[in-house]
Chain A
Amino acid sequence: MQYDLSALIKAFPFLLYGAIVTIRITALSIAIGLIIGFLTGLARVWPNVIFRTIAGAYIELIRGTPLLVQIFIVYFGLPALGMNLDPFIAGMIAMGINSGAYVGEIVRGGIESIAKGQMEAARSLGLTYWQAMRYIILPQAIVRILPALGNEFIALLKDSSLVSTIAIAELTRTGQIIITRTFKSFEIWSGVALFYFVMTYAISRIVKYSEKRLRYGE
C-alpha cells in the first residue's frame, strides 16, 4: 500500500476551508471564554461570598461534565425551551462557556499568586480595590498566567473537533466528508492532523512571543 499524496493535494483546498472554520469558531470561543473567565476569576477572589459561590458552582459544573454533552445541551436541548440556534452559534457558545470555567481557575490562580503586600501597598496609597486590581494585580497576574492560557487555547482548538458532531463543517468534519467519498483515510487524517498541528504550533509561538514582550525589568 502506498501513501497517495495526490489525494491529499486534491483535498487541500477543502481542508484549508475547514481549518478556517476551526480558527473562526475557536477564536470566537476564546474571546467569550476570556471575558467569562476574567469575570469568574475576579468573582472567585471577590470579598463578597455570594459572587464567590456562584463562580465556584459554575466552574465545578462545567469542569465536571463533558464538553460534548455541553455542546449537545446547547444545540439539541435548548430548542426544547424554544431557542433554536444555528449550529455555529451553538458550538461557539458551548465552547466559550466551557473555556470560561478553565480560564476562570487560571485567572484566580494568577491573582492569588501575587504577594498580598502588593494589594496592601496599592490600598495604602489610596487606590480603590478596583484600581489596585486593574493597575497592580492584573498586569502582574496576566504575565504569570500566559503559559497556562496558551495551554487552554491549544486544548480548546483541538476540542473544537467535537462540534463536527453538530454538522459544522470545520476541519475534522471536512476530513470525514472527504473520506466518505475518496476512502483515503490515512492520507486525509494525516493531513487533518498536520493542519491541527500547524495551528496549535502557531498559538504556542504567539504565546511565547507575548511572554517575552510582557516581561519587565530584566
Chain B
Amino acid sequence: MSRWAIEVNSLNKFFDTHHVLKNIDLRVSFGEVVAIIGASGSGKSTFLRCLNGIETIHSGEIVIDGVKINDIKVNLNKVRQSIGMIFQSFNLFPHMTALNNITLALQKVKKMPKADSEKVAFQLLEKVGLEEKAKSYPSQLSGGQQQRVAIARALAMNPRVMMFDEPTSALDPETVNDVLDVMKELAHEGMTMIVVTHEMGFAREVADRVVYIDDGRVIEDGKPEEVFYNPKNPRLRDFLSKVINV
C-alpha cells in the first residue's frame, strides 16, 4: 500500500493552445477530505476529470492508490473501479431503474451474481435513504434523489477514493442538504474524498483541507480555517468575499 491515496506531480493540461492546468501538485492521504474551490473556468473540474482519466494530460504524473494512471500500460478500467466519480448532472442511466443503475457494473465488471449484486444495491440504497425507490426510473426521481442513487452506484464498486464534481450545483436548494448529509456520513466513515464545490459551508465544516485553484494553478492549500479566515492571496480574498455571506 502506498503512502498517499492520491499523488499528483507537476500536472499540465492544454485544450489546444489554452493552458488549463499549470504545474499542479497535490497529495491526499487516506481518509482525508479535500475541498477544491475556485471560480468557474479556473480548471478545477478539469483537474478532477484528469484524476480518473476522463481527460488526458500532457505532462506530469498522477498516482492513485499506488497506481500511476497516466501510463499506457496501465489498465484504466481496472483503476477506475477504485475511483468513484460523482457528476454535477448525476449521469444516471435513464433506461434503468435505480436498482439496475447500481447492479450493472457489479454484474458486468465485478461478475457478481444477480442476487448478490441486488443485496449490495439494496444495502446502499438504504444507506442513502432511498430503498423504497429501488424500482423507480431516474426520470421519476428528484435531482437530490438521483444524486444519492449516483453516490450509491459509485459506492457499490467499493472505491478507495470518491471524487465529486460539483455534486450539488444542479440541485434544487431544498434537496441540497440530503446530498450533503450523505457526503458528510461518508467523510465520517473515513472515505477519502475530493470534492469540487461551491458549497463553502460544506467545505468549511467537513473538509480537512481546502485547495483554492485559480487560472489553472493551486494558489492556496491549507486547513479550512486558514483558507477561509486568513487568506493570504488577494485573489482568494476577492473570491471569498464574493461567495461567502452574500
Which residues of A does B touch, CB under 8 Å? Answer: 115, 117-118, 120-128, 131, 135-136, 139-140, 143, 216-218
Contacts and interface: CB of A to CB of B under 8 A. Distances in A.
Given A117-B87, A217-B139, A125 B95 contact: no
Interface stretch (B61-69, B75-83, B183-191, B196-204): B75-83
Given A139-B95, A216-B137, A217-B94, A131 B108 contact: yes
A131 B93 CA distance: 13
Contacts of B77: 123, 126-128
Given A123-B80, A125-B104, 11 more contacts: A115-B89, A120-B54, A121-B93, A121-B150, A124-B83, A124-B84, A124-B154, A125-B109, A126-B157, A216-B94, A217-B139
A124 B80 contact: yes
Nearest to A126: B81
Interface residues of B, number: 30
> A interface, by DSSP: helix, strand, loop or mixed?
helix
Contacts of B93: 118, 121-122, 136, 140
Given A131-B108, A135-B104, A136-B93, A125 B153 contact: yes
A127 B108 CA distance: 7
Contacts of B80: 123-126
13 contacts: A115-B91, A117-B87, A117-B89, A120-B87, A120-B91, A122-B93, A125-B80, A125-B81, A125-B109, A126-B109, A127-B108, A136-B93, A217-B139
B87 A217 contact: no
Contact of B137 (A120, A135, A217): A217
Contacts of B28: none
Query: Most chain-B Cβ atoms within 10 A of its Cβ — which of A124, A140, A218?
Result: A124
A125 B157 contact: yes
A217 B95 contact: yes
